[in-house]
Amino acid sequence: YEEEEHTLRELRIFLRDMCKKLANNRLFFMFTKPVDTEEVPDYTNIIKQPMDLETMMTKVDFHRYECARDFLNDIELICQNALEYNPASKHVCFRTSADKQIRHRACSLRDYAYTLIKSEMDTDFEEKCLSISTKR
């Protein structure tokens, strides 16, 4: 009913702000767009559910997130995909290897997103979203 729609509008505004903060952080530029399957032809053989911050922003607008937990699940997906496609064992391991930096940034993205949302989100608000989500 109207009160629930108001809550979900507020959630979308909050999640757009989170998405913007993450996408505008230069550390996370590599997660802002889908991996280019022309540039990386075997990517979809290995990663079955690609995800990126631009896609997440679109999902907010399409009402695909009913609570912060669903949003964080997609952040987790970005992180897991990066760790799976760029594993330590894959290349000859140079100390400053590109894949090592990707793995490090993926872990930073996950930790930063959780901390940002936990610090800026009212627990009661998330509980309200969860109760709406379960009823739908």
Ligand X SMILES: O=C(C1CCC1)N1C[C@@H]2C[C@H]3C[C@@H](O)[C@@H](O)[C@]2(C1)O3
- By the rule CB under 6 A, 39 interacts with ligand X: yes
The residue among 56 and 129 lying less far from ligand X, judged by its C-beta, is 56
Minimal distance, residue 62 CB to ligand X, in Å: 22
Distance CA 32, CA 19 (A): 10
- By the rule CB under 6 A, 35 interacts with ligand X: yes
CA distances from 53 to 38, 41, 50, 58, 91 (A): 19, 21, 11, 9, 26
Select the residue interacting with ligand X from 15, 18, 19, 82 (CB under 6 A): 82
Select the residue interacting with ligand X from 13, 40, 88, 107 (CB under 6 A): 40
Distance CA 73, CA 91 (A): 28
- By the rule CB under 6 A, 30 interacts with ligand X: yes
* Tokens coding 71: 């949003």
